[in-house]
Amino acid sequence: MIGLMRRKLSSKRRESRRWREPPEKALRAEDIVVKSTTMTEQRTQQAVTCLGDALANCGIENEIASFMKRKFDELHGSHWQCIVGRNFGSHLDTVEHVHLILSKISVLLFRCH
């Protein structure tokens, strides 16, 4: 009985991490807002495009972060990091960064020293 309850709870937690918006409220690339950036305009636009691609191909926040990190590592060399979430705090010393917002989701893409 306890095992069944744990599986149900675990299943519910996994579901909460997925984008469960109905089609009319779906996260769309055209709704991405650049909150702050120290990147060039070209790199900022690449980050917005990359997030749009990630939304189309990924189902959970962790997958989106991994997708964006790998893409920027390919385009601009290694040492890129990405944080995707709804509620977190951060204090980062970065070489360059972009903070994107989409609905209630924040995306921090940055390169450290």
Backbone torsions φ then ψ of 84, nearest 5 degrees: -130, 130
8 A C-beta contact, residue 37 and residue 99:
yes
Residues contacting 72, CB < 8 A, separation 6+: 46, 47, 50, 80, 82, 109, 111
Tens digit of pLDDT at every position of the chain (113 positions) = 665 555 665 555 554 455 555 444 556 767 899 999 999 999 999 999 999 999 999 889 999 999 999 999 999 998 999 999 999 888 889 999 999 999 889 999 999 88
Provide the token pair at 32.
């991405």
SS3 letters for 64-98? HHHHHHHHHHHHHCCCEEEEEECCCCCCCCEEEEE
Domain residue spans of the chain: 34-112
CATH class of 34-112: alpha beta
How much is the pTM? 0.75
